[in-house]
């Protein structure tokens, strides 16, 4: 079957010439007169290559390329620009928009055909979409993020990661594991199609990691929609008895028998309108940190990178007072370091001895409690705090491997290592206070 080439040019004479030259070399050619017609036709016929004039009415060639690169149906297609200007600046603009190559007018017919053949060969050798989900892969994700950063176009990046996916694969095998990955890809694709927003971009980093770029104002609602749809659908991929039991049984990497929760998703969100980034590497590094924070919770959840905000603006309770953070820890040096950080962030701080009763802590109406796992009675105190106030944010500082999982299972909102960095601590602190603001005790809210 002949390769199909879609040609866009507002000059009817040049359209006819291009079609004649390409058809003479065995290509099937479809022509359109404008950039907007090109975008519509490309999405409908899915050509093998696009040949696009830069200067066209309604929508120029650069904008048409940019829109097609954002659409998963056309993002992988080779796109060649035809330009009347041979300046390096125009070439740079074309490549930044997502073009693969460019040809200047007037062009040599043999050179034109050679460029077309070379780009078709390159496209055949270098897949840019994930083979399992068909979504854009790492190369396209990096290009899109860098393009938006260069052009100062604010966006929110959602890093979507599957939790407990390895235990699912171990229990059911890779074939059924692939169905979980396709489910996530299908949901993201469905969401983009429903929204019909050309600014949305989605990609599959690889394995169980996905990315979506969207308007910052939509990030929270998109996350909630994905979580609700995924949680409802993923149980259909389990055996009925496992769903009824609520977990899978297996062994961790140390060979210890464990119960693994059902697969859920954690979403880390970075908003470039609130923090400056210079590169894809910077954005992805922060997104990975926020995603790791989100994974400390139980079940499907999402978290924002809050470090770009003014701390004072976030850490204020509904009576206009700084929120109260209570510590119970035996390590004086650690406690002093964390207290200094919390006080510097504008919070009120109280410290209690490690053996303090949970009722005493709750009577202070704290906005957040920090426990040290190694302090006497900490685990029973965690149970009592969670029973007495199910919505109270609790951070547990752990020192022994496995205590983080025990803390989360017992109801802690986060478990942090005792050698934590101040940045890691502040991210957790601000996130929990922001997320739980609506659940503060009535005495604090009134």
Within this chain, do residues 300 and 323 fall inside the same structural domain, yes or no?
no
Distance CA 391, CA 393 (A): 6
% of the chain exceeding 70 in pLDDT:
89
**35-45 and 61-70 helices cross at what angle (nearest 10)?**
30
Is the distance from CB of 64 to CB of 39 less than 8 angstroms? Answer: yes
**pLDDT tens-digit profile of 110-126?**
999 999 999 998 877 66
Within this chain, do residues 321 and 388 fall inside the same structural domain, yes or no?
yes
Residue spans of beta strands (DSSP E) within 41-174: 49-53, 79-83, 101-104, 156-163
Q: How far is CA 423 from CA 279, 345, 350, in A?
A: 20, 12, 21
Q: Are strands 324-328 and 348-352 parallel, antiparallel or unpaired?
A: parallel
* pLDDT at 273 exceeding the cut of 90: no
Within this chain, do residues 14 and 159 fall inside the same structural domain, yes or no?
no
Residue that wins the pLDDT comparison between 275 and 168: 168
Domain range for 402 is: 313-445
Would you say residue 130 lies in a domain? no
Distance CA 84, CA 105 (A): 5
Within this chain, do residues 61 and 95 fall inside the same structural domain, yes or no?
yes
Q: Where residue 212 falls among pLDDT bands split at 50, 70, 90?
A: very high
Q: Please spell the DSSP secondary structure of 366-393, one letter per residue.
A: -SEEEEETTSTTHHHHHHHHHHH-TT--
Within this chain, do residues 40 and 175 fall inside the same structural domain, yes or no?
no
Domain termination residue (choose one: 260, 276, 304)? 304
Within this chain, do residues 113 and 177 fall inside the same structural domain, yes or no?
no
Taking the CA atoms of residue 14, residue 15, residue 21 and residue 23 in that order, the dihedral angle to the nearest 10 degrees is: -170
Question: The pTM is what?
Answer: 0.52
User: In CATH, what number is assigned to the domain containing residue 144?
Assistant: 3.30.70.270
Q: Where residue 321 falls among pLDDT bands split at 50, 70, 90?
A: low
Distance CA 264, CA 78 (A): 36
Q: How far is CA 414 from CA 40, 88, 240, 338, in A?
A: 48, 52, 31, 15
The CB density around residue 30, as the number of other CB atoms within 10 Å, is 17
Is the distance from CB of 205 to CB of 145 less than 8 angstroms? Answer: no
Distance CA 132, CA 1 (A): 25
**pLDDT tens-digit profile of 68-84?**
887 767 877 899 999 87
**Please, what's the largest Cα pairwise distance for the chain?**
87
Distance CA 194, CA 172 (A): 32
Within this chain, do residues 321 and 296 fall inside the same structural domain, yes or no?
no
pLDDT of residue 299: 85
Within this chain, do residues 228 and 283 fall inside the same structural domain, yes or no?
yes
Within this chain, do residues 284 and 402 fall inside the same structural domain, yes or no?
no
Which DSSP category does 365 fall into?
-
* Domain total of the chain: 3
Would you say residue 146 lies in a domain? yes
Within this chain, do residues 176 and 250 fall inside the same structural domain, yes or no?
yes
Is the distance from CB of 190 to CB of 135 less than 8 angstroms? Answer: no
* pLDDT at 54 exceeding the cut of 50: yes
């Amino acid at each position: 079957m002949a390769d199909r080439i879609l040609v866009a040019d507002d000059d009817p004479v040049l359209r006819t010439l291009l079609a004649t030259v390409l058809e003479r070399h065995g290509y099937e050619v479809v022509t359109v007169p404008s950039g907007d017609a090109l975008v519509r036709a490309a999405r409908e016929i899915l050509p093998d290559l696009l040949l696009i004039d830069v200067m066209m009415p309604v929508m120029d060639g650069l904008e048409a390329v940019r829109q097609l690169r954002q659409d998963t149906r056309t993002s992988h297609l080779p796109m060649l620009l035809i330009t009347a200007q041979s300046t390096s600046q125009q070439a740079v603009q074309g490549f930044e928009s997502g073009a693969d190559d460019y040809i200047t007018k007037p062009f040599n017919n043999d050179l034109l055909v050679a460029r077309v053949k070379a780009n078709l060969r390159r496209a055949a050798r270098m897949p840019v979409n994930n083979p399992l989900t068909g979504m854009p892969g790492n190369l396209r994700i990096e290009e899109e993020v860098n393009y938006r950063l260069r052009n100062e176009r604010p966006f929110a990046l959602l890093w979507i990661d599957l939790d407990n996916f390895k235990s699912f694969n171990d229990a059911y095998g890779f074939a059924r594991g692939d169905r979980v990955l396709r489910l996530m890809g299908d949901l993201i694709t469905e969401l983009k199609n429903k929204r019909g927003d050309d600014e949305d971009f989605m990609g599959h980093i690889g394995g169980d990691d996905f990315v979506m770029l969207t308007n910052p104002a939509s990030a929270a609602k998109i996350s909630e929609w994905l979580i609700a749809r995924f949680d409802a659908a993923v149980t259909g991929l389990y055996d009925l008895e496992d769903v009824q039991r609520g977990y899978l049984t297996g062994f961790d990497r140390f060979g210890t028998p464990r119960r693994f929760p059902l697969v859920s998703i954690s979403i880390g969100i970075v908003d470039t309108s609130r923090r400056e980034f210079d590169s894809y590497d910077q954005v992805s590094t922060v997104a990975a940190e926020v995603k790791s924070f989100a994974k400390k919770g139980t079940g499907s959840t999402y978290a924002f990178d809050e470090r770009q905000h003014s701390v004072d603006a976030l850490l204020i309770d509904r009576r206009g007072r700084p929120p109260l953070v209570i510590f119970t820890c035996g390590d004086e040096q650690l406690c002093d370091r964390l207290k200094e950080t919390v006080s510097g962030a504008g919070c009120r701080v109280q410290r209690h001895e490690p053996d303090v009763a949970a009722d005493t802590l709750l009577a202070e109406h704290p906005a957040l409690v920090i426990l040290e796992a190694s302090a006497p009675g900490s685990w029973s105190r965690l149970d009592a705090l969670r029973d007495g106030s199910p919505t109270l944010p609790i951070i547990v500082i752990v020192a022994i491997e496995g205590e983080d999982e025990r803390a989360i299972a017992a109801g802690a909102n986060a478990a942090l290592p005792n050698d934590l960095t101040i940045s890691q601590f502040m991210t957790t602190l601000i996130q929990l206070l922001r997320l739980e603001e609506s659940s503060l005790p009535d005495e604090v809210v009134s």
